[in-house]
Structure 1
Amino acid sequence: MDEAGENSKGAVRGETIAYFSMEIGMVEEIPTYAGGLGTLAGDTVRSSADLGLPLVAVTLISRKGSFRQELDPAGRQIEHPAEWDPSDLMERLPERAKVGIGDREVSIAAWQYILESPTGGSIPVLFLDTDLAENAPEDRGITDHLYGGDQRYRLKQEIVLGTGGLKILDALGFHIRKYHLNEGHSSLLALELLERCGRDAEKVQKRCVFTTHTPAEAGHDKFSYDLVGELIEDGEKIEMLKKFGGQERLNMTLLALNLSMYVNGVAKKHQETSSAMFPGYQIHSVTNGVYSYRWTCPEFRELYDRYLPGWANEPELLVRVDIIPDDLMVEAHARTKRALIDLVNRSTGTEMDPEVLTLGFGRRSTEYKRPTLLFSDLDRLRRINSRGEIQIVMAGKAHPEDLQGKRLIEEIFGYAEALKGEIEVAYLENYDMALAAKMVAGVDVWLNTPLRPREASGTSGMKAAHNGVINFSVLDGWWIEGWIEGVTGWSIGPEPGEQLSFEEGGQRDLDDLYSKLEYIIVPTFYHRKDDWVKIMNNSIGMLAYYFNSHRMMRRYVTEAYL
């Protein structure tokens, strides 16, 4: 076989970028994503296909998916397996790879999903699978559950993803130019490369790109060397892991940092936070973006197609949004909003009104996202409502092990009951990409209230902006870069650089949230429609034109891949 390699179908491959991610959200029918990381990975693949980039994506099959969420009348979350059959949507390739896990060799196969772009490009997405007859029963389940099980299960998955993924690419004849590690889950591929490069770390670094998404110390995967020794029995490998991944415990982020030439955070603020967490490393910033066509609702796509032809592959054309007549934009949003409100009323039994100012909040239910901040003072919320009606649409899953996240959903159900007959509050179950697309397009204001600096980037607000929905958010992640007060939306709480205690910051957030709702947002929506429409325009022309994954991928190509 020549250097370029040849796949099982006989096609010679050129140099390729291998993009590794534990989760990739391609379509709703493939439930192998849990949230923002997987959705971003899916947008990355879509933009790569549109732009004709030579890229292959590698992930796990997650046969039992993440989970399907059911909420009982009290808001208690019930998790159901999201099982699916990959044979309905993709092809299993005949090639196999083997990795050592403990005292056994585990066989790995790959299912191939081909993402076709309207521009003619295509990207193969490889879903790794250990559910093979030749494997022991315990090993057949390694690729079943996304982020499931204990530390042992997680480390097995990361061996399959990193080491197994690299070997599958070899078996398929890919000639890889760069390995892009999307988060630290696939870092063990760098260990495999290290062995192949005669332990020359500099050679490995030149081939690895690492994107970190986690600004919280607890979010980085760490494993005890007792466990690592049980699953990776090679003593020389353990010594290399200790050298590059930490002496006390194996830190997957540290392993990737030490063996990647190009490292980046996913927003400018996140780059600062990451540099403070890992001093001594050069960490760049490539602010995330979203795939414009996927996240723009049909009503706005039609407008953009008519007035800004070519926008889908050149989202920067959205900067010219002012040529779209305001009345057409208002009507497009009204139709989209009406469809969402109908869905909400059918699903939850609420009596929402499409004429009422609608706030949206959709993201994973966890403490640092503060989904209940809006309900901190119900009397204040009632007062705001008396000046101009509001209604609230929310959604989000809690991780099965996140008991506090589950309690937050129950609390919101309690607040909804307390406000019944005054302010309509709906919490939609089983938040996924399809529901997210309806919400980010159908509400009037997109609310985001994370604890600073816990939001690495955040992309839901970018999706909202593509649909003329206005952001109202804490200044963290991408919003620091997109925010111009009263022009592109509104901020919540202190500006970056203000030194406040945790308690002072929290109080400022709350004061700002209620004050701006009462004195700016509600009056503008009901009494200054021209001003409102101008901010809708700015959301598209100043935010969507830039915060998209086409721009993001061009940055990766010029700064990391070449």
Structure 2
Amino acid sequence: MNQKNGSTVAYFSMEIALDPKIPTYSGGLGILAGDTIRSAADLRVPMVAVTLLHRKGYFAQAIDSDGWQHEAEMPWEVEKHCEELPACVEIYVDGRPVFVKAWRYMVSGATGDSIAVLLLDTDLPENSSWDRTLTDHLYGGDSDYRLCQEVVLGIGGVRILRALGFDNLARFHMNEGHAALLGLELLDESARFAGRSSFNGEDVQLVQQKCVFTTHTPVPAGHDRFPFDQVRRILGRDDILENHQVFCCAGELNMTYLALNLSHYVNGVAKKHGEVSRKMLVPKDSEHHYSIDHITNGVHLGTWAARPIATLFDRYVPGWREDNASLRGALAIPAAEAWKAHQAAKQRLVDEITVRAMASFDVNTFTIGFARRATAYKRSGLLLHDSERLREIARKAGPIQVVFAGKAHPDDEQGKQLIRQIVERKETMLPEVKIVFLENYDWDLGRVLTAGVDVWLNTPQPPMEASGTSGMKAALNGVPSLSSLDGWWIEGCVEDTTGWAIGNLDSTLSDDSDRDSHDASSMYQTLENSVIPKYYEQRKEWTRIMLHAISLNASYFNTQRMVQQYVLKAYYA
């Protein structure tokens, strides 16, 4: 496993989507992590990944007749997918030893190389009954559970790597702040190597040169913070709390700032998100000076291209899997064949809706897709902001079908209300607008949705979207986006060519209700005057936009380009 040890990058992420049958992810962050590893394997980038096993997954979602979400565990057969490794390490949590072992899952690339993913597991007989559950649930439990998980990931992850012979890693990449405690382990290692009992400024500089940090959200809840009393109890040490250069701030351990303080390269995940992160994370009166770059996210094209679309690419853009940028040549694909391939993908979606929801959707009716985590800032219900206006548009321009999907975090009551409100509105929109909400949004459903709808809708409240990748998957399949100008879409939107913008970059609309009304009005106007007429009446124009979404967006917004930028800017710079 360590033959490329000197140049290998250790990629740490709390969640990684490895296979549709392995529920070790909740959504975009985990899907991105999996796509990153798949592209690194394609590009033969020496990498080893570290995550938690999540024996019982995130959760399976069921929606009852009243529209309420219910959650169930998602146990999976670890032995069928992973190989148990002999290494076992010891960490200390809340004053007691906890033993951690690892399972290995191999990700194979298009060029024949493979990357090992190490899934950490505390379900060992040597551990207490509670400690055995620490790697069961993704984003489950209370604050103690979360901090203990982050000790397992960061400190346990480094120790597992060392036990497996990874003693000379080139870089440690923290995909979000959940893994930031790996920096503490590296500081302790550096001090021990120098013959000291505690780390100092020299160790901090050495660790900074080894670490890379990617932040993924401007939403405060996405940045883990723990009171010092809790940190002192769980970690069993006081020394770190006295080092404000590294372990700040204001009576709590902020995992984002810990990662910032211990990294030589930091990035947001879109150009706009880089700007937002610099404003949010670098206060004017701060004694710290952080340099925050951006590398815009992407998707793994080989994973997300629907079969009819991939077959089309194989015929007209051979080698696209190995060279994603070659999809710039997609404009040469005959429009009739692009439309035929899309209709095949759309029929697959219609069939899925029939099976899952017993709803009758039509392959020739204009269909909008919206699948996002159900939380307030993503504004799941914006399309239904003025229901009568939407019905009137359908009467004038042509019938509309809408497919919704998305999970709310089990503790997000507001998110659950958003789902319920959409389900409640279904009957009131008939017959002009058909609506279906498909439960248990996951990798498999995501592939069918992003390829099978006609337009991908995304309505985050700016500037809360860090990047977003679902629209990139849609673009790959020739599905243009209708989206708020936030995240990646600021870079990807060429109006009336790759899709359409909702609203503008006006920052004066500070009131949420004003923003919602403004953006809903913009969305309705664009649907009525441009999008739907083109779909029903201007097939040549529609296929032009489909092919430009592939040529301009898919050729750039992919993890192959993204990983290459990490290699040049962060890993070996």
- Provide TM-score, normalisation by structure 2: 0.95
SS of 1:128's partner is: strand
Q: Is the CA contact 2:395–2:432 (under 8 Å) kept in the aligned structure 1?
A: no
Distance apart, 1:12 and its partner CA: 7.4
Distance apart, 1:132 and its partner CA: 0.4
1:185-204 matched pairs, under 5 angstroms: 185-198=178-191, 199=199, 200-204=203-207
1:456 paired residue among 422, 442, 466: 466
1:491 maps to 2:528 = no
Q: Is the CA contact 1:241–1:250 (under 8 Å) kept in the aligned structure 2?
A: no
SS of 1:513's partner is: helix
- Distance in 1, matches of 2:427 and 2:488, equals 34
Query: Structure 1, residues 473-516: CA drift from partner, whole Å, max 9, x if none?
Result: 0000000000111111000012x255333243322201101111
Query: Structure 1, residues 137-191: CA drift from partner, whole Å, max 9, x if none?
Result: 1111111110000000000000000000000000000131100000000100101
1:274 maps to 2:277 = yes
Aligned to 1:220: 223
Give the number of aligned pairs: 553
SS of 1:424's partner is: strand
Aligned to 1:3: none
Q: Is the CA contact 1:245–1:258 (under 8 Å) kept in the aligned structure 2?
A: no
Aligned to 1:547: 557
Distance apart, 1:278 and its partner CA: 1.5
SS of 1:176's partner is: coil
Aligned to 1:206: 209
SS of 1:380's partner is: helix
1:312 maps to 2:304 = no
Deviates more, 1:186-195 or 1:441-450: 186-195
Query: Structure 1, residues 255-312: CA drift from partner, whole Å, max 9, x if none?
Result: 0001100000000000010000112311000000000010100001001111111101
SS of 2:433's partner is: coil
Query: Structure 1, residues 446-467: CA drift from partner, whole Å, max 9, x if none?
Result: 0000111110000000000000
Q: Is the CA contact 2:406–2:441 (under 8 Å) kept in the aligned structure 1?
A: yes
Aligned to 1:433: 443
2:425 paired residue among 406, 415, 424: 415
- Distance in 2, matches of 1:176 and 1:99, equals 21
Aligned to 2:395: 386
- Distance in 2, matches of 1:396 and 1:110, equals 31
Q: Is the CA contact 1:241–1:255 (under 8 Å) kept in the aligned structure 2?
A: no
1:507 maps to 2:517 = yes
Aligned to 1:300: 309
1:424 paired residue among 409, 412, 434: 434
Pair 121,12 (structure 1): closer, same or farther in 2 beyond 3 Å: closer
- Distance in 1, matches of 2:478 and 2:4, equals 45
1:337 maps to 2:340 = no
Unaligned runs of 5+ in 2: 192-198, 283-288
Pair 12,529 (structure 1): closer, same or farther in 2 beyond 3 Å: closer
Q: Is the CA contact 2:400–2:432 (under 8 Å) kept in the aligned structure 1?
A: no
1:51 maps to 2:54 = no
Distance apart, 1:422 and its partner CA: 3.1
Aligned to 2:267: 264
Q: Is the CA contact 2:110–2:321 (under 8 Å) kept in the aligned structure 1?
A: no
1:465 maps to 2:475 = yes
* Residue type of the alignment partner of 2:7: E
* Residue type of the alignment partner of 1:458: G
Q: Is the CA contact 2:450–2:473 (under 8 Å) kept in the aligned structure 1?
A: yes
Q: Is the CA contact 1:242–1:250 (under 8 Å) kept in the aligned structure 2?
A: no
Query: Structure 1, residues 76-116: CA drift from partner, whole Å, max 9, x if none?
Result: 11111001121111111011111111111111000000111
Deviates more, 1:226-235 or 1:475-484: 226-235
Aligned to 2:294: 285
1:70-109 matched pairs, under 5 angstroms: 70-109=62-101
Deviates more, 1:68-77 or 1:545-554: 68-77
* Residue type of the alignment partner of 1:113: Y
Distance apart, 1:241 and its partner CA: 6.8
SS of 1:29's partner is: coil
* Residue type of the alignment partner of 2:239: E
SS of 1:96's partner is: strand
Aligned to 1:558: 568
- Distance in 2, matches of 1:248 and 1:103, equals 21
SS of 1:162's partner is: helix
- Distance in 2, matches of 1:125 and 1:241, equals 34
Q: Is the CA contact 1:359–1:390 (under 8 Å) kept in the aligned structure 2?
A: yes
Q: RMSD of the TM alignment (CA)?
A: 1.3
Aligned to 2:195: none
- Distance in 2, matches of 1:293 and 1:65, equals 25
Distance apart, 1:391 and its partner CA: 0.5
Q: Is the CA contact 1:191–1:241 (under 8 Å) kept in the aligned structure 2?
A: no
Percent identity of equivalent pairs: 49
Q: Is the CA contact 1:244–1:259 (under 8 Å) kept in the aligned structure 2?
A: no
2:330 paired residue among 321, 337, 358: 321
Query: Structure 1, residues 360-405: CA drift from partner, whole Å, max 9, x if none?
Result: 0011111111111111111101101102111001100111101111
Query: Structure 1, residues 49-86: CA drift from partner, whole Å, max 9, x if none?
Result: 00001000000000010011111112111111001121
- Distance in 2, matches of 1:152 and 1:244, equals 18
Deviates more, 1:468-477 or 1:240-249: 240-249
Deviates more, 1:244-253 or 1:180-189: 244-253
- Distance in 1, matches of 2:315 and 2:462, equals 40
1:20 paired residue among 12, 17, 22: 12
Q: Is the CA contact 2:56–2:75 (under 8 Å) kept in the aligned structure 1?
A: yes
* Residue type of the alignment partner of 2:412: D
- Provide TM-score, normalisation by structure 1: 0.97
SS of 2:483's partner is: strand
